Amino acid sequence: MFDTNDDVDYGVSSTWGPEISKTPGLQAYDNNKSFFNTGQNYNNQLSIDGGTESTMYRFSISNFNSSGVIPNSKLNRTTVRLASEHKLTDKVKVGTSMSYSNTRSTKPQNGSNLSGIMLGLLRMPASYDINNYEYDNGNVQTYFGLYDNPLYTAFNNPFNDNVNRIFGNTYINADPTKWLNITYKVGIDNYSDERRQVYHKSSAGDDNTLRYGQVNYDNVNSFQMYSDLLITGKKDFGKDIHTTLTLGNNIWNSNFTSVFSRGRDLIIDDFYNLGNSIDRYASNSSEKIRTYAGFFNFEADWKSAIFLTVTGRNEWSSTFDANKNSFFYPSANVSIVVNELVKLPSWFDFFKVRGAVAQSGISPSPYRNKTYFTQPFFADGFTNGNSFPFLGQVGYGISNVKGTPNLLPERVIGNEIGTELKFFRGKLGFDVTYYN
């Protein structure tokens, strides 16, 4: 344990303390009012746009600054956006849209842990002044030794993160003929998140509750890239039949990595560096997913009275076994505007019936089709447990989650029927749907 110099009152947590009005020398404190602040938000933005007959552009930069209701909680986000489009010819245009943002924040403890804000605050007796949260030696001062003082936690145990994100796309759009349109788009979504959680040497929030201090670093990186190809054709058959057919494909690639490191038992106060710790731990993980899909969408209407839409999508996903990674899911819906086919009474304005059936397919999470070796973790429900490396030894065991090579996609099938009615020049209407 850290040396408190008898500065901590271990007391009890199951009483509100003596009756204040009948106890000489005691006074009541409004600790909730003393703790919470009035939050403030500021948002500033500058934008520039312009162009010519063939080129359009828009640039903007904005800053959002927020201070939270909890002391020392804050967020600052700066965002830069750029969008442009240029006509190469009357039938071909290209464009791009990109956005970069940087978000820095300081966040308080959450959840029901010994450093949790609400745990210590809502159980604090009114006879204790929350503003007495720190002794001269920098240790936590609180009404019950197992809980950190919420103000101490806010200022000494912050969670900081720094997120950089860039996303956007570049596209080309062509109209070779009046009835044909081709669009191809490539986009990315990439972010990095640098997180740091610290616990002061006297805080009870560290993993092993020994109050020796702790620092956690968690660096997360996510990179996603996709491409979409859409070919849309429109064809009329006479004056009554209008059709539209869209063919396309989608390629999506995702790469996610996480590197976690922890240092416990800090030597120097307020120096949150892994080199300042005695007990160190590190781990990393990665996840990769790739999907490919081909799809179509067919729409037709007859005399603007009968409408039909049929879709289908076939998808291949890397999260299945290599020989069973293809699945198809279709949909169809029909609607009939009865008043376009049959003459209705003058007070009957609109009568539409509709029906639909659809499937959606969802591929499984990655690495569920095989059984892997993992580093075991042993816990008894009362302590933080033990995990490998243990006493300098590295160990692996078969995962308690068994892989399934013959995984099938999750399917959601929906059926729907409905009707829409309007009367008296739209003054009365009904829209009823039944779906399963």
Does 257 score more than 80 pLDDT? yes
- Residue 7 is predicted with a pLDDT of 41
| Assigned domain for 38 exists | no
Question: What is the number of structural domains in the chain?
Answer: 1
Give mean pLDDT, residues 33-62.
95
Helix (H), strand (E) at residue 121 = helix 117-122
| Assigned domain for 170 exists | no
Give mean pLDDT, residues 169-186.
96
| Assigned domain for 418 exists | yes
| Assigned domain for 139 exists | no
- Residue 128 is predicted with a pLDDT of 87
| Assigned domain for 427 exists | yes
- Residue 369 is predicted with a pLDDT of 85
Residue 363 pLDDT level (bands cut at 50, 70, 90): confident
Q: Are 214 and 199 in contact (CB under 8 A)?
A: yes
Residue 330 is part of which domain span?
323-368+411-436
Encode 49-60: b = buried (16+ Cβ within 10 Å), e = exposed: eeeeeeebbeee
| Assigned domain for 401 exists | no
| Assigned domain for 87 exists | no
- Residue 28, classed as helix, strand or coil, is coil
| Assigned domain for 149 exists | no
Does 124 score more than 60 pLDDT? yes
Provide the 8-state DSSP code for 128: S
Cα–Cα distance between 137 and 7 in angstroms, integer? 9
pLDDT in tens, 141-163: 888 888 899 999 999 999 999 99
- Residue 6 is predicted with a pLDDT of 40
pTM of the model: 0.81
Give mean pLDDT, residues 65-84.
96
Does 98 score more than 70 pLDDT? yes
Angle at 339 between CA 335 and CA 343, to 5 degrees: 150
- Residue 380 is predicted with a pLDDT of 65
Cα–Cα distance between 363 and 291 in angstroms, integer? 9
